[in-house]
Structure 1
Amino acid sequence: MSELVSTGVEGLDSILTGGITERSTVLVSGNPGTGKSIFGIQYLYHGVTEHDERGVYVSFEEDEADIRGAAESIGLEGFGDLVDSGDIVILDKREMLRETDFSTAVDKLLDTIEDGEFDRLVLDSLSMFQLFFDAEQEKRTYLLKFSDILKAPGLTSLLINEQGAVFPDTEVGLENFLTDGNIYFIQTPTDSGVNRYVWVAKMRKQDIDTDIFPMEIGEGGITVHERAGGFSMMGRSEEPSF
């Protein structure tokens, strides 16, 4: 029986029947501003503070100061101290985009992983990572290779992916089929702002609830409410009309 890794998100672990399968690679997709990066930060923070599991945050889009600021904005006290102590290592865009080839970026990550014992990793974002490649076949080959690289030292990883479509089933890319699980963050406009939802579409080796659940971002990060959002991508209830 595989061990499960808690996400640190109240409500989401229940949907996942305990967490994410250890040593899996999970794709986290959604529109900009849906909470994907916050989820990654919260996942690493929870790993250290609750389970003594060190983590790596790889960002192709943000500086370290931006990531620290995002953690502070949701009240994750001591996040900066965990970075200073090396319990959370940040490889930001200045380091990862210093060179323009895939091998150099991966070597930098491998050097970091090999220098310490880490359990969790977040890559933000896969969309930028894929800019290293021109051909679709090359992208597929290296994405598979990268997934194996992460699993070898026992990492349980979140790969964040920017998605343009509001509903995820209208934009399904190759990366959806090459990862062990797919989690979607969705936001829909309302007269007073937005409604936020999370959908766990796939998790290999796990019995999951595939309804869409409402979520919110507040002090402490993301909270998922364990009542279905009234619609389902899997056809068990009607989708809302927008």
Structure 2
Amino acid sequence: MGPASIVPDMVNTVETGVEGLDSILNGGLVENATVLVSGNPGTGKSLFGIQYLHHGVTEHDERGIYISFEENEDDIREAAESIGFENWGDLVDDGEIKVYDKSHMLREGDFTSTMDTLLEDFANASYDRLVLDSLTMFELFFDDEKEKRTYLLKFSDILKKNGLTSLLVNEQGAVFPETEIGLENFLTDGNIYFIQTPTDSGVNRYVWVAKMRKQDIDTDIFPMEIANGGIKVYERAGGFSMMGREAPGDGF
């Protein structure tokens, strides 16, 4: 399957590289879409972003940008190596993945200047995939809702105009998804939720694709795991449904 596979309704898709999730998405994310990735801390959202960019470069020769307000470049590299992407640092050094870490994004507190530099980079270089980690931190730089709405609209428009298929990571405090419609939901083409629930032996992890414009997607919640090689989703193991439908009982 190529980087822009054709699904029956002729929508071009971009593989995430997550086994199982691309099946749920009928091939991957819609090309040039901006997708909100939400969940509480530790659910695997940042690792998903890393895996998405790594897959793009290594399997499809698609360059990526990772913007992090949360971590420095060494932290991001260690996270990538922790799931088996030992060549992450080489890809960054070679310019295949451009990392703007918190030292770049928070430099001198001049957010506007920093964003102008970043947007200029979008326009003058050829990138295909982008991850912003996190939208929650990004939004703290705006004084009011009007300013935030204006800039988010501008930012989303620039991503699309530059041909980027983007993941915007959104931190949540609740264990289960908050389903109220917020500003971010109006601005994004898709919503993916990462969920974890505590058990006696650790946690159970799940993924829920709640919305994906232009695609007929499965809205059940599916089990997932984080292991060497990255995130895997068991798309044939739906045990329950967010939408009240009976899930197939055909096991893993």
Q: Considering the TM-score relative to the shorter chain, is it more than 0.5?
A: yes
Partner of 1:31: 40
Whether contact under 8 Å (1:126, 1:159) holds in the other structure is yes
Per-residue deviation at 1:172?
A: 4.5
Give the Cα separation in 1 of the matches to 2:46 and 2:180: 20
Among 170, 190, 195, which residue is 1:186 paired with?
Answer: 195
Q: How does 1:138-149 map to 2 (within 5 A)?
A: 138-149=147-158
Per-residue deviation at 1:121?
A: 0.3
> Which amino acid counterpart does residue 62 of structure 2 have in structure 1?
E
TM-score by structure 1 length? 0.94
Whether contact under 8 Å (2:105, 2:111) holds in the other structure is no
Deviations for 1:203-238, whole angstroms, at most 9, x for unmatched residues? 000110000000000001100001244222212259
Q: Does 1:87 align with 2:96?
A: yes
Task: Calculate the aligned-residue CA RMSD, in Å.
Answer: 1.5
Per-residue deviation at 1:165?
A: 1.3
Partner of 1:175: 184
Give the Cα separation in 2 of the matches to 1:73 and 1:166: 24
Per-residue deviation at 1:137?
A: 2.1
Per-residue deviation at 1:170?
A: 4.8
Give the Cα separation in 2 of the matches to 1:39 and 1:162: 14
Q: Does 1:114 align with 2:149?
A: no
Q: How does 1:44-55 map to 2 (within 5 A)?
A: 44-55=53-64
Partner of 1:196: 205
Per-residue deviation at 1:135?
A: 1.2
Q: How does 1:4-153 map to 2 (within 5 A)?
A: 4-153=13-162
1:61 is paired with a residue whose SS is coil
Q: Does 1:209 align with 2:218?
A: yes
Give the Cα separation in 2 of the matches to 1:136 and 1:227: 41
Give the Cα separation in 2 of the matches to 1:76 and 1:105: 29
Give aligned pairs, total: 238
> Which amino acid counterpart does residue 13 of structure 2 have in structure 1?
L
Per-residue deviation at 1:97?
A: 1.0
Deviations for 1:53-108, whole angstroms, at most 9, x for unmatched residues? 00000001110010001001111131111000000010011111114354223212
Per-residue deviation at 1:138?
A: 1.8
Instruction: For structure 2, list consecutive stretches of 5 or more residues without a partner in the other structure.
Output: 1-9, 248-252
Instruction: For structure 1, list consecutive stretches of 5 or more residues without a partner in the other structure.
Output: none
2:157 is paired with a residue whose SS is helix
Whether contact under 8 Å (2:37, 2:191) holds in the other structure is yes
Per-residue deviation at 1:143?
A: 1.0
2:185 is paired with a residue whose SS is helix
Partner of 1:159: 168
TM-score by structure 2 length? 0.90
Give the Cα separation in 1 of the matches to 2:199 and 2:218: 26
1:188–1:18 distance in 2 versus 1, CA, 3 Å: same
1:231–1:83 distance in 2 versus 1, CA, 3 Å: same
Give the Cα separation in 1 of the matches to 2:180 and 2:102: 27
Deviates more, 1:75-84 or 1:6-15: 75-84
